[in-house]
Amino acid sequence: MVLSLDEKTQIQALDRTQPLLPIEFDAAEKRTHDYVRHGTTNLFAAFNVATGKVIGECRPSRNGAQFLAFLKKAVAPHRGRDVHVVLDNLSTHTTPEVQAWLDANPHVHFHFTPKGSSWMNQIETWFGIATRQAIQRGTFSSVQVLIRTIRDYIAAWNANPRPFQWTATADEILAKVHLVQKAMPLRVDYVMVAVRAMVTVTSAATSITRAGRRFRCLGAVA
């Protein structure tokens, strides 16, 4: 049993003067320039890798206590089974209280994604889909309206859940990683050349400015 778990923090309840006008065949998408912030919420969610179902809950803040409360809720339906939780190594995920709970529940196992590799966590993919389909273009008159919209979206998703499937093999992914590692020294060289050029130009501009000031001063004395 594998759960992909994380939080989407500081989701804003933005209330615009007019609802967003969707894109049409002969017109671009339109939205008003002004809006009012009614507050934020934090979405805790766990994605069942096998079934595609999502357990989600909005909470006013994100800390170790809130995370542990949601973790208990997420694993409760799978009592008696080994549960492998994929998540990032955030400080709120590794508090002493969380570690004590893990010690008391040895059937729950944490698997931390490597630093800079949040894309490996499938809940991040789901967050992106939910943002595009339910949040990004929404108009919310209050935080409660935003939370209700998120809940409705989760319910609609779970009515027809879709698990994600990797389309690239591990070898293909590692091959791309090796290409980036080989290209990094070249990129560093390009950056260093750009920095040196910028410093040279800046120094030249400073020298010209100082020379111009001296010339004006001499002209004033003359």
Prediction pTM value: 0.72
Give 191's pLDDT tier (boundaries 50, 70, 90).
Answer: very low
Assigned token pair, 24? 């049409």
Per-residue model confidence as pLDDT tens digits over 58-115: 999 889 899 999 999 999 998 888 999 999 888 889 999 999 999 999 999 999 988 7
190 versus 22: the higher-pLDDT residue is 22
**In the predicted structure, residue 195 carries a pLDDT above the cut 70:** no
Give me the pLDDT at residue 154, please: 96
Least confident of 8-17, 92-101, 201-210: 201-210
